A = this chain, B = another copy of it.
């Protein structure tokens, strides 16, 4: 059997045709932002799906289902409840809409949950009953697997560890509260830490290759630049990752007290910097870890490819069909 994975992003929609063992044998793309009507959007996605199927001499009946990863995607209702980043407004009843075209299972969840489940079905978490995925990007998302099942909670919206408050009264978060993990460990949070350190620092010395020049204004600093600077040894960039790692390690150690996972996975742009983040992260994770869990939970990087994780994660959701 094959499955379809659809990743609904604010700008683009990735659609892939996936084999049982996780190979993407065809993929398409639609410009999400240009749609305001989800009926038309689903119709066009179905057009792409049918096109991929016929190109591979397959038909709808060869599909075990359609998995959809979407911001605020609700597993229980099959809808996107409210997605501030989409131009399609109101309640988007995706499951119902797809069923107009195909009588096969349609499973929705949010993108971080999809990433976690992709890791479980096709990636490094195969065979693990308990693990947690943290996705670092514009925000910080998470997906939690307990007893081999994604935790959706009573509302469908469980697994928002990016909004664990780590520093009561701390940095303002986009969610309206203060001190959330996301305010520190997202790409934006990392940039903010760097810029704060730079403002405090009196040193305006020579710039070495790959260091961030003091003449680059705060608004143009990116987490990619900070990562490059850290790997080139810039002290402020290294200190930025030490501080990021301290809080991320704390959040991870706190998460372990919840479900005692065998591993915590990381993925997303800000994790690509490597050792400048990972070395202090391992130290902080260990420092904050309750004794009884020490040495029992690994930190692992996602083993799915960057350009495949969204489609594979979405396709993996089919394994959760109700």
Footprint of B on A, CB under 8 Å?
128-130, 144, 146-147, 149, 151-161, 163-168, 175-177, 246, 250, 253-255, 257-262, 288, 290-293, 296-297
Contacts and interface: CB of A to CB of B under 8 A. Distances in A.
A154 B290 contact: no
14 contacts: A130-B154, A144-B258, A146-B153, A153-B261, A154-B262, A159-B260, A165-B250, A165-B288, A166-B168, A168-B288, A175-B291, A177-B290, A254-B254, A258-B258
Contacts of A297: 154
B163 A290 contact: yes
B290 A158 contact: no
Contacts of A257: 158-161, 163-164
Contact of A158 (B152, B155, B167, B258): B258
B253 A165 contact: yes
Nearest to A176: B291
Given A151-B259, A161-B257, A167-B168, 15 more contacts: A128-B154, A146-B146, A147-B149, A153-B260, A154-B262, A155-B296, A157-B292, A158-B258, A158-B259, A160-B290, A160-B292, A163-B290, A166-B168, A177-B288, A177-B290
Q: Which of A128, A154, A158, A259 has the most CB of B within 10 A?
A: A154
Contacts of A158: 130, 257-260
Q: Which of A149, A165, A261 has the most CB of B within 10 A?
A: A165
A260 B296 contact: no
Contact of A154 (B129, B154, B155): B129
Contacts of A290: 160, 163, 175, 177
Contacts of A168: 166-167, 246, 250, 288
A238 to B, nearest CB: 20
Contacts of A152: 260
B153 A130 contact: yes
Given A175-B290, A290-B175, A260 B165 contact: no
Given A166-B168, A168-B166, A288-B165, A153 B259 contact: yes
A250 B163 CA distance: 12
Contacts of A291: 175-176
Contacts of A261: 153-154
A261 B288 CA distance: 25
Contacts of A155: 260, 292-293, 296
B164 A260 contact: no
Nearest to A161: B257
Contacts of A154: 128-130, 260-262, 296-297
Contacts of A160: 257, 290, 292
A175 B144 CA distance: 26
Contact of A293 (B144, B157, B253): B157
A244 B155 CA distance: 28
Contacts of A151: 146-147, 258-259
